[in-house]
Structure 1
Amino acid sequence: MFLSQPPPRRRRVMPKAPVFHKSTNIITWPADKVPVEIFTLIASYLPRSTIQNMRLVNREFEAKVSEYLFRVVVVPFKSEIYGISSALHGEVSDSAGSVTIQDKGMKVFEGFGSRIRKFALSFEYDEYRLAYPPLKSDQEAITTFWGIYRWPFQNYNRYTQLEGLEQTADETRTMAKALGYLKTANELGLSIDGGLGWLPGPDVNALVVEKGEKPVVFGLSRFVPDPRHKPTRCLKTYRACDPASAFSQSNTRMYHAYESMLIEAGYHEDNVDAGVRLMMETETSSEVEATTNSDGSAAAFTSYASQAMESIFRHMNSPDFVPCRSVNDLIDIQKHKTSEQPLKPNDLTNAQKEMLLEIEWAQRAFLQSYAVAVIDNPSTFENIRTLTIARLPSGHLPTLRRGDFWQSLKHVEKLSLGVIPDWREISKQPAGWVQDQKTQPSLAVTVAYQIFHEQIARRANIKTLHFEWICGGEYATGMYSRNQLILPAPLVRKPTHMVCRTRQFPVLYLPFVEHLSLKNCWVSPHVLNDFFENQKYSLQSLKFDSVSLSAPIPMLADPGPGTQIGNGAGGGVPTQGAIQHAAAFAQATAVQQALQAPQPAVNFPNGPPNIQQLLATTDPVPNGLEWLAIRFGSWSQLIDNHTPGRRLADIRYDRNIGEEPMSRPSTKLKKMEFHSCGYVRVNLDFEQSMLDSPDAPGLPLAGKKDNNYGSIMLNPNDYYLATIVNHISHMETATLENAWNIEVGWPTRLKNLVAESKFDGIPDPGKGRFAGVIEATNLN
């Protein structure tokens, strides 16, 4: 008999996952099908924050997006340290925020160094941190059997963070190792600003601040701007604390001051709180006030600049807002007490001086390490073709005058150099106190000329050169900076050589430079003429951006200081010095004109003519063609002498009012480009009335600022700083337009710059400035 088998146990079968077929129209990511060029194209329409989020989708997204994101990288040097901007500058491609060159930063270099094409290091001060310096006690805590007391430091006490930053900057081998990973980079950049240049302080342009733009290294950002939140009514730059909380703020800062003392004295953190409270309880109110206010850092936080910005924003939000302010409007906005301003550029607190001093120490160590890292690793930079030094204080220029530095960058073909002229020198005296010595910014001309003459001019590899002053001018912001504080171009060794004509001074010669660009500077006519002559066998293209001519300097003249220093005036009425030089000027004008035109030299049987007679040529022209007569020492004359295009003599000949012109001298110049060029007034004692508008000039804007907070601004006690003249004669306007198709006045595309300039009190921005391109023709 057979026993039946029990029925088999049924197994529970899990339902199968659904299989999606192509016929179901379910969209899936086509792995490794989309080329990196498509990713790059899409990324070009996105803000950086969105591109960073795209890296989180999957590994393919991360790899292909990073190619675009990390192509251009600007890394702030230890940005979390006090005094250094915590935000990454410009086109920064860093997903973690701040990148350092040690520890985590080194891993970033290892992982992404091969993707970087443009790399720069930045080391820049933060003006807000300078206005409210980090707390640093000038006394140390000493423990005795009867308690704790305070005593002044025997040696100069450093800001701990900046001292550590300087020590890090001294690690040359670490920097060299980090830079060694940039094997595929073809452009190297640097940006340094230590706050020793022009400080705007309360002179803030709200229209510029509202845009939130940051200084860039490699030009305009490649990323679409991130969506901005509605601007707060109180700007961060000079925000004020609630007056009701001033007492608590003071107590808080005092607590941290004592806390720092005890920590430096070696107290364990468990005992610090009790020690701080003991010190606070045993101090009198007067001692507390003296301690917290000794460096100015715990003074009342109410900033009159922030109140001014509040008033401005109220005005901007009104229905009848027009982006322009008159002098009277500016005065009304800025009537607040200057004593409440946290940052007074002309009267820094001791803490602010110490901060600038220690930043300068750290930056000097940083730049020296940077230079040595480049010198010791020439093979690392074999692929570098472009060197962009976006910002560099003039005091640091001598560090880059080393020949071995430029020899290590022997393949660099394109150099861009922006220099911040120093307005002050901060030094520590033997007694331990810090001295703030004001200096003339025009002295930067000498150090800039030296680096060009001694190093750049000798480098046959450097074919393209750009130079600019980062100080004042048409693009500067603020009432006290816009359209003024313009330095001479470093085409001569000293600023005095730009105007002194008692003898011939050497003019810069760049025998290998083929493409030159100058920005934000002024030149005297005779120096610019000599520079053209120097470069005619090498220079192929020339670009002038906000470059201005002064009035012509008479032969044998050596102009001294004018009489209107600091307010942009001077020269409206011929001075005694100009009258004395009139005869020499007349003779030089006659000789110059005789060389330019096929006619006898001009004679003056009745003595020297007046100034206006000296300014026009004597070439006869028919009615309606007066624009063919040009002023001696004008832009029209310089362009006519050196243009690669048509000359006025060619136009005269074509119109049958002149002889056939002689063939032009041999030159390689093929293109001249102008952007917002015109004239400036220099506060020196020589004739400049030919630059004046026929309308009666009013009191210069700067003269009307003195009653506001001019006393706390840096005093431009420098006679070689020039001021824009927003005027050009109707006759020269016609010459530029008819002869070379040059446009006079700012075009409509600069409407934002016009609004910002009007906000700074410039009544007619762009008036008298011209722009255009002149290219070579087939004329011989």
Structure 2
Amino acid sequence: MEATPLGDEAVELCSSNGLLVTALDADHTLSCSSYPVLPGRLTDPQLAALMKVQWIQESLKDAFIIGVMDSETCRAVKSLNLACLPGRCLEDFDRPDFWEALPCLETLKIMVLGEIATLRYNNDKLQHRYVDMSRAIIPFKELLRRIAGRDSIKNLHIGWASGGEQATGMFARNTNLLPAPFLDEELAPSPYMMDDILVFPHVQHLTISNSWMTPRALEWLVAAHREYRLQKLTLDSISLQVLPRALGGRLPEATTKVRLESQGPCDVALDWPFREWSWPQVLDAISPDVHFGLLGKTTRNSRNPGALKEIELISCGHSAINHPTWCLTELDVNIYQPILLWTYGPSTSYFRSRHIALEPHMPPVICDNWLATIIQFMPQAEADALRAIWGATIGWQDADSILAATLDGFQPGGTGRFSAVIRATGC
């Protein structure tokens, strides 16, 4: 592929990564204000257009809800996918007559879109107001509480359609990650902030995606379903909140070597023990198969997985919420220092200048304590344990996805992430 940018200078382009350069921008700081759409300074016509889109969404949503309740055909529906439901619409679906109109529903997917602003007319004037994305958490939780007891639903997939590693752009990727909808209405973060776990007694396959969780919440979730029908738990792009060093989240200073027999020519030697709230500690507690006890070490595994036969982990890692006492710099220095060194290193100078140039034209930053930032780092000892004990794959395999993150100014996609499948013996 060949493109001709300004100055009639021919440029050879590789098309495999999906990029097309149409002009050389010698000084991007001069061109930002000339963009037709500036997210932080929307014009009145642009706001009016957004308002019309919102009206259309509301009309479609109302028509859909009424149609389901009035249609006899919908009584036989077995699968429902609410793929990108705006947070403001959650309360409209939290009504018993809607769900009673779906008596045969077996598979349900609810992905909620966190919203950063509201639009409404007040005295014939259009008002545009920025809001916390996290305000959708409680309505989401209440909606799930509504459907939790429905005995027809066997497959449930819940999560967020915005933020995290699935978002694109230097202001969106790896940020604005919302919590799994189990967060308690706490005034300030604490180790117990997500202990109010919802139980789905009839669900056999539960998937939680694109969210952050506390390790306590994940352990409690598995324990709470032990006496019910949950057979498979899928964690898709789940980030565990790292415990601040002031609360005991430091990496162990003194470790010993534990040797594991491997199928290769050499045994594997792991550093032991692991820090509090680490993935190895959590998987030890919830695994339906191998755990620390089988390695001759102290374990927190109940050895009674109940109906749970499989845990699938897809691109899981760590995060830090935005609260001042729980943010990145409050973590162990060995965790946040590599991140800061890379962020302010020479390889990111272009993206830092680009970020500075674009920031005045972006929506204002609202201090939302419940949003998290993905940490593109995992201690080597923990990665080694995940690989050796549970057969985890570290990082991503898709080359395009790995590259895409670097084009937004981040480390290669999949840095600090792992995937694994843990099956009970005999399954």
TM-score above 0.5: yes
Give the structure 2 partner of residue 410 of structure 1.
103
Distance in 2 separating the partners of 1:457 and 1:444: 18
Q: With structure 1 as the length reference, what TM-score do the two structures score?
A: 0.47
Amino acid at match of 1:371: I
Distance in 2 separating the partners of 1:405 and 1:382: 11
Distance in 2 separating the partners of 1:619 and 1:778: 33
Distance in 2 separating the partners of 1:365 and 1:399: 12
Shift of 1:483: 1.6
Distance in 2 separating the partners of 1:368 and 1:660: 51
Shift of 1:719: 2.7
Shift of 1:542: 1.0
Shift of 1:705: 4.5
Give the structure 1 partner of residue 322 of structure 2.
683
Contact 1:466 1:517 in 2 (8 A): yes
For the pair shown, the structure with the greater C-alpha radius of gyration is 1
Shift of 1:661: 10
The 5 Å alignment of 1:33-72 reads: none
Amino acid at match of 1:354: A
Distance in 1 separating the partners of 2:199 and 2:358: 43
Distance in 2 separating the partners of 1:764 and 1:704: 19
Give the structure 2 partner of residue 436 of structure 1.
128
Contact 1:473 1:481 in 2 (8 A): yes
Structure 1 pair 647/504, CA: closer, same or farther in 2 (3 Å)?
closer
Give the structure 2 partner of residue 521 of structure 1.
211
Structure 1 pair 503/695, CA: closer, same or farther in 2 (3 Å)?
closer
Contact 1:416 1:467 in 2 (8 A): yes
740, 744, 762: which one aligns with 2:394? 744
1:777 and 2:425 correspond = yes
172, 179, 182: which one aligns with 1:481? 172
Distance in 2 separating the partners of 1:640 and 1:410: 38
Stretches of structure 2 that go unaligned for 5 or more consecutive residues are: 261-267
Contact 2:204 2:232 in 1 (8 A): yes
- 2:357 partner SS: coil
Distance in 2 separating the partners of 1:734 and 1:774: 16
Shift of 1:666: 4.5
Give the structure 2 partner of residue 182 of structure 1.
none
1:723 and 2:373 correspond = yes
Deviation per residue, 1:641-682 (Å, 9 max, x gap):
010111121022xxxxx5899971352211111111111122
Contact 1:485 1:716 in 2 (8 A): no
Give the structure 2 partner of residue 363 of structure 1.
57
Stretches of structure 1 that go unaligned for 5 or more consecutive residues are: 1-229, 234-309, 554-573, 579-584, 590-610, 653-657
Amino acid at match of 2:209: K
Give the structure 2 partner of residue 767 of structure 1.
415
Shift of 1:471: 1.4
1:340 and 2:26 correspond = no
Distance in 1 separating the partners of 2:362 and 2:411: 22
1:669 and 2:315 correspond = no
Give the structure 2 partner of residue 709 of structure 1.
358
Give the structure 2 partner of residue 569 of structure 1.
none
Shift of 1:510: 1.7
Shift of 1:335: 2.6
Distance in 1 separating the partners of 2:80 and 2:176: 27
Amino acid at match of 2:172: S
Distance in 1 separating the partners of 2:33 and 2:14: 32
The 5 Å alignment of 1:182-201 reads: none
Distance in 2 separating the partners of 1:443 and 1:341: 31
The 5 Å alignment of 1:446-595 reads: 446-453=138-145, 455-494=146-185, 496=186, 499-501=189-191, 505-538=195-228, 539-552=230-243, 578=246, 585=247
1:383 and 2:73 correspond = no
Amino acid at match of 2:377: H
1:647 and 2:291 correspond = yes
- 1:338 partner SS: helix
Contact 1:676 1:771 in 2 (8 A): yes
Structure 1 pair 733/361, CA: closer, same or farther in 2 (3 Å)?
same
- Number of residue pairs the alignment of both structures matches: 402
Distance in 1 separating the partners of 2:242 and 2:396: 22
Distance in 1 separating the partners of 2:188 and 2:197: 9
264, 273, 289: which one aligns with 1:629? 273
Structure 1 pair 757/508, CA: closer, same or farther in 2 (3 Å)?
same
Structure 1 pair 348/412, CA: closer, same or farther in 2 (3 Å)?
same
The 5 Å alignment of 1:30-109 reads: none
Distance in 2 separating the partners of 1:740 and 1:480: 34
- 1:348 partner SS: coil
What is the RMSD computed on CA atoms of the aligned residues?
A: 3.3
Contact 2:236 2:316 in 1 (8 A): yes
Contact 1:375 1:408 in 2 (8 A): yes
Contact 1:679 1:724 in 2 (8 A): yes
Q: With structure 2 as the length reference, what TM-score do the two structures score?
A: 0.84
Contact 1:488 1:498 in 2 (8 A): no
1:419 and 2:112 correspond = yes
